Every structure is written in structure tokens, then in C-alpha cells.
Amino acid sequence: MGARLAHLLEQWAAQVEGLRRGGGTAYLPYDFSDQCTAWLRVSSRDGETVEVQAGCSLIEAWGIEPSNYLATATEVTDFDPIAGARISCSLDDLTACISANGIALEATGP
């Protein structure tokens, strides 16, 4: 389980890092339920600041491999934002938080 979660965080980091090249939008899954999935929509206009919005999609989790979700992320066209679940921060702060979670996960052992 730990290795798969670590790989998920590595994919998150790669997607977020990709926003530095002129901005864009990345979808990061964080909840895999039978009937839907929950995602963080990370948007950047300038490659320096981001808006992170939590929300859901009707994409069912059984069809997604959490350790290889990138193909599915492009299919999130029905993102439904959760009211009040949005923050803005620097891209540097977000990447640092993702990295810190990876380090904390490593510290828990296999």
C-alpha cells in the first residue's frame, strides 16, 4: 500500500511541476469510491501561483489504477466543485507540501 501511495504522490508532484511551464490545469485524485472519485483541480495562469479546488467526478474508481491515474485525469470533464473547499497558494508551497507528505510516508516504513 505504501509503495502505491508513494507513486501516487510522485505523479501528483510531476503534474504540479508541469504547471510551471506556462500554467494550466491538473487533476489530482484523492478519494476512490465505487460510484465516484474526488479530485483536486489545480489551476495556474502564470506558472507561479495556483488555485486548488476540491471536487468530485462521476468517474468510478473501479476503472482507475491509483498508481497510474494520468490517463483518467484527462477524462475529468464533469468536475463538480465542493463549495468552500478552495485555496490559493504559491506553486512552490504546493510542491513543498506534496514533497513533505512523501517524506512522511517514507518515514512510516514499508
- Residue 1 pLDDT > 60: no
Which sequence spans correspond to the domains of the chain? Answer: 2-107
What residues contact 60, with CB distance under 8 A and at least 6 apart? 34, 35, 36, 37
Instruction: Write the pLDDT tens digit of every residue in 77-107.
Output: 999 999 999 999 999 999 999 999 999 888 8
Q: Cell for 8?
A: 501516487
pLDDT at 2: 77
Average pLDDT of every residue of the chain = 92
Please state, for a pLDDT cut of 70, what percent of the chain lies above it.
98
pTM value surpassing 0.85: yes
- Residue 19 pLDDT > 90: yes
